Structure formats: C-alpha cells, structure tokens
Structure 1
Amino acid sequence: MNLRRLKYFVKVVDIGSMTQAADVLHIAQPALSQQLATLEGEVRQQLLVRTKRGVTPTEAGKVLYGHAQLILRQCDQARVDMDAAGRGLSGAVAVGLAPGTAAAGLALPLLRTVRARHPGVLLYLNETYGSTLSELVMNGRMDLAVLYGGRVAVHGLQFLPLLKEQLFVVGPASLPAPPEHVPLRLLGEMDLYLARPYNVVRKMVDEAFAGIGLAPRVVAEIESASTLTAVIADGLGATILPESMARTVVGACKAWQCRIIEPVIEAPLALCQSDHLPLTEPAQAIKEILLELVAALPGSLIAGDDTRLSVS
C-alpha cells in the first residue's frame, strides 16, 4: 500500500467529507477519489461509504484506519529519528497520567527532568481516566500511561507494577470522624460518593464490601476531583480514595481521612505500554525517567534500574 494513499484515506475519515479533505490536502477532488479507488482495489475491499451527509468508513475501513494511523505515526517518528541521528534525542512522546492517583504527582518532576536531560523531546501529558488512557496506548496514540490497574491481563497491553496505595475514607468535618484505622464494615451505612463501577478503585471497593457480605451505599457517582472536593467541603457525605488523592482533598477543605482496615485495600499503580508496538528511542528515555522517579516514592515496587515489563 502506498503511504500517500494511506494519508489521504486517514484524512478523509477524519474529516468525513471528500470535498473538504481535498481542500485540506491541496488536491483536486477527482484525483483524490481516484487515489482512494486505487487503494480499495489494492486491498480488494470497499473502505468508504459515500452518502449525502458525507463519507464514513466501512467495517473494513475502520480496521484499516486504525492500522494506517499507526503506520503513518511510525513513519513520522522514523524521519524524526533519522534527522536526530548523531544529535541529542528529539521527537514527541505522549504520556498519560491518571488523575486522582499518585501519578498526578509525577507531572512536574517529569517535566523538569525531561527538560534538563532531553530538551529536544516534546513531552505531551494527558490526564484522563485509566480506561481511556489504556485504550489510547492500545491504539498506539499514546506511548506510556501511569494508571491504577495491571491486576488482570489485557490483550495488547503490558503492565509494570510501580507501587501500591492504601485506600482511605475521606469525610467532611461536619461528620464525626471514625477511628484512625476504620474497619470497612463501619462504612456500610455511610453515604458515599464514588466513581463509576468500571473505575479500578471502585471495583476494588465493591469487591471488598462484597467480601464481608455488604454493599456500599452509593448516593452519587462522581469522577471529577474538583466536584468531589466540593461535595466533601459541603458536608454531603464521604468518599473512598487512594492515599495520594485523599491527602489532596483533605488539604483543600475541612475534612478528615482514615485508613480502611479489615480488610486493607490497596490500589496498584502500574506503567502501561503496548505489548506489540516498540517504544521509540525518546519514549524509552522517558520511560526510564518515570521509573527513576517512582523508585524514589514511598512504597515503590521498582528495584534499582530493572525496567522489564510483565503482564500481571
């Protein structure tokens, strides 16, 4: 397949219009249509469906679109690597940091270290939820992600355990604080504001409650750190968070935090990367910096310079 035709195909799918794509690509529409027809002939599949509202990919087209994005991205990186040969590292590296986790505290140290060691590397940081980050890594649109997870093998991904954070209940000053170490069963009647059920931490909370024959009394599901902090500050109820985010919420409003015991619940933070797409040289350098930063954190599972990945 011709790289130029792949580029044309991706642009048409992105824009959803043959006419607008032709304008952006600075090519006549009949010529663009001919290039795409040639591509369809090469793969012996219909890739696009043309309607009055625009152009959409067929199922085969969607598959090719995903592969084409990876191919074009790797070609771009190859050009960058060749241009940078003999000089310092350069190129773009995308790193995901799940919010509300210890990963958020890595952002500034990572930026400082990368700027000092590899000024030619353009670092892109994305703070969004772990499920979204893992999908981006799987699709090759992000190089690395630090998120809660790794307990279950996921096809297309590898996880390196970084550290474990214990979970705490966090409540407003207007509610009586439980003991410093609170058994989970005492939280069964508490109004809780938790993340959605697909969230890794929420799954762990639900599993822990189920293990003692109870269910959490969830009055609302919130995934915004600022909204959750406002809820606690307003005295509406409590939440269950990893230690790093619990400290952040308590520091932002009048609140208390107590470690959950019986059972102790630990959230595993992991470094996620593709299990089939090799890291570029700049991305490998960023990975090494991330592991170095995590090794200095309390509770780190990183020993020395061991950077091997394993599915856990």
Structure 2
Amino acid sequence: MDVKKLAAFTKAVDLESISRASVSLHLTQSALSQQLSSLEASMGVQLLARSQQGVYPTQAGRILYRHAQQILRSVDEAVSEVRSRGEGVSGRVSVGLAPYSMAGDLTVPLLAAVRDEHPNIVVHVRENFGGLLSELIATGQVDMGVLYAPVSLRAVSVEPVHVDELCLLSHADRGIPAHVEFTDITDLELIVPTRQHSIRLAVDSGFQRHDVFPRIAAEVESVPSLLEAVGRDLGATILPRTCLPDLAGHPDLVVSTIGTPPMSVRVAFCTSASLPLTPQAAAVERILRRLLAARIARIPSSAGRS
C-alpha cells in the first residue's frame, strides 16, 4: 500500500476538499485526484463521495481512514526513531487535555518535563471537547488524555482521579450570595461553553433536575475570554473550582456554591482499552501521571476529593 496515497486520502478527508488538500500537499488537483482514484482502484471500492460542499468518506472510506491514521503515525514514529539513531526513547506522543479543567495547568509543565527527561520525544498537546478526544484515544490517534468523565466509549479505559465542584463566578456588583440553588439563578445571564462540552452538559443537567431553564447570554470556548467577560459584568459563568482565578487578584469577582448537594464533575485519566502504549507514550504517561498527582495534591481538601 502506497503511504503517499494514504496521506493524500486522509488529508482530503480532514479538509473535506480536494482543492484544499491539493494546496496543503503542494500538488495539483489533477495529481491528487489521480492518487485518490488509484487508491480506490486498488481497494476495489469507492472511498470518497463528492457533494457541492466538498468530499466526505463513504462507509468503506471511514474504515480506511481509521486504519490509515494508525499506519501513518507508525511510519512517522519509525522515521523519528531511525533519525534519532537510537539515542534514548524517541518519537511522537499525542496527549489530550480537556479545556475548562485542571488539565489546562499541565501543558507547560508537561512540555518542560519531557524536554528535560526525553528530549527526543515530540509531544502534541490537544485541547478539545472530551467526546472528540475520547474518540481519538479509542482509535489510537491520541495516546492518553485527562478528560471529564463519563466517557461512553468501551474502547477507552477510564480511571477517575478527582471530583471537582462546580461554582458560580459573578461580578461583585450583582450581590449574589455565597450559596445559590439553580432555581435562584434562572434570570441570571450565563456565559458558558457550547453543548459539546462536559461542563455545559453538567450545567444543563443541574437546571433540568429542577425543571427550570438557564438564561444563556453567550457561549465562549476560551477560559481567559470568559473570565474577562465576567470581569466586565457581561454575565456570570459556572466553572470547576480548580479553574477559578485567584480572587486576591480579582477583587471584583465573587464565587458562590451551587446546589444542594453541590454540583460536581469527575476528572479521569484515559487511555485506549485495546491499543498498547508505545515506549515513548509510556514514558510520557509516567510524567503526566506524576504531574497530575502533584496538581491534585495542591488542591485544598474543601475543593474536591479524589
């Protein structure tokens, strides 16, 4: 099987366009189309379907795409190991870290520790929704992740490591008390992530349990932007306690607990349930677990439990 044709196929699927894929691969559209046609001919099935919006994989194409990701990754790892001439553990490792979680604090320490302990390893950190990251872990495109549970895929091994309490963060001028119920904040403008995110799902669930509905003022994926918006009193937000800013530096913000009992989310360490870790991934896993344990140890006992 021609690796270049597989790479061309996966690029077309990723970009959903022959023209965009050809530009990315520095090929003419004609040359790329010939490679794709040749791949389909060798497989004996149609791999891509065309529409006015672009291209998308057929059922057979989705199967090939999943395997192609693993094949191309193995090729990259082989090249990396050969070029490193066997000087220690080497290769590429992909780590998923859920946004709006304590995992966000681990990116820079992880990069620094891997550089110091395994300089021939290239770490790819992906911050995305837990659902997408869990699918990537299941298919071997991401080696491990610190995500919000539950992760519904059987192909993913889920190890709960911490329970984080959700809190309401608002501007002091609103005068919100130190504890509120979901029924108390139905008229409060909320700035939250989209429904693809585990935090949003937990927030919606909290309101639904009381048969009330939140007032969503905006949906924001960036935590720094969200905190700035709350600081300007454009609305309030709901975040895990470990993601809250240091209020000493934000005297205009106040934190309130929500619900009786308090609403919480579970953080989990996730790996593939069937695909073994490569030597370089195992080395990064040890570092990530060490950093995660140290991060959890710094959390005050009142902020959650492991």
- Shorter-normalised TM-score: what interval? 0.7 to 0.9
Asked if residue 204 in structure 1 is aligned to residue 202 in structure 2, the reply is yes
2:232 counterpart of 1:230: no
Contact 1:162 1:300 in 2 (8 A): no
Judged with a 3 Å threshold, the aligned counterparts in structure 2 of structure 1 residues 177 and 288 are, in CA distance, closer, same or farther, namely: same
1:95 Cα offset (Å): 1.6
Say whether the 8 Å CA contact 2:129–2:198 is kept in structure 1.
no
Distance 1:52 1:204, change over 3 A: closer
Identity over aligned pairs, percent: 35
> 2:126 corresponds to which residue?
126
Instruction: Find the counterpart in structure 1 of residue 92 from structure 2.
Output: 92
Q: Is the 8 A contact 2:131 2:151 kept in 1?
A: no
The structure having more radius of gyration, on CA atoms, is 1
How far did 1:152 drift?
4.5
Deviations 1:198-222 (A, max 9, x none): 3211222222233334333333333
**Secondary structure of 2:165 counterpart:** strand
Q: Sort the Cα spacing of 1:50 and 1:224 in 2 relative to 1 into closer, same or farther, 3 A.
A: closer
Alpha-carbon distance, 1:172 to partner: 0.3
The answer for the alignment partner of 2:115 in structure 1 is: 115
Seen in structure 2, the aligned counterparts of structure 1 residues 260 and 251 have a Cα distance that, compared at 3 Å, is: farther
SS of residue paired to 1:78:
helix
**After the TM superposition, which residues 135-150 of structure 1 pair with which residues of structure 2 at under 5 Å, given as runs?**
135-149=135-149
Instruction: Quote the offset at 1:285 in angstroms.
Output: 1.1
**Alignment of 1:166 onto 2:165:** yes
RMSD: 3.7
Q: 1:187 to 1:73 in 2, by over 3 A?
A: same
Paired amino acid for 2:257: R
Aligned length: 296
Kept after mapping to 2: 8 A contact 1:16/1:56: no
After TM superposition, give the deviation of residue 121 of structure 1 in Å: 1.1
**1:63 aligned to 2:69?**
no
Q: Is the 1:171–1:177 Cα contact (8 Å) retained in structure 2?
A: yes
Return 35-44 or 116-125, whichever deviates more. Answer: 35-44
Q: Which of residues 9, 15, 18 is equivalent to 1:16? A: 18
Counterpart residue identity of residue 155, structure 2:
G
Provide structure 2 residue ranges, at least 5 long, that are not aligned to the other structure: 300-306
| Aligned-partner residue type, residue 186 of structure 1 | D
Secondary structure at 1:196 match in 2 = coil
Deviation of the 1:111 alpha carbon = 1.9
Task: Give 5+ residue unaligned stretches, structure 1.
Answer: 302-312
Counterpart-to-counterpart distance in 2, 1:259 and 1:36: 56
**Equivalents in 1 of 2:10, 2:211: separation in Å?**
51
SS of the residue 1:93 aligns to: strand
TM-score normalised by length of structure 1: 0.78
User: For 2:258 and 2:20, how far apart are their aligned partners in 1?
Assistant: 57
| Correspondences of 1:183-222 after superposition (within 5 Å) | 183-222=181-220
Give the whole-Å Cα distance in 1 for the aligned partners of 2:146 and 2:49. Answer: 38
* SS of residue matched to 1:256: strand
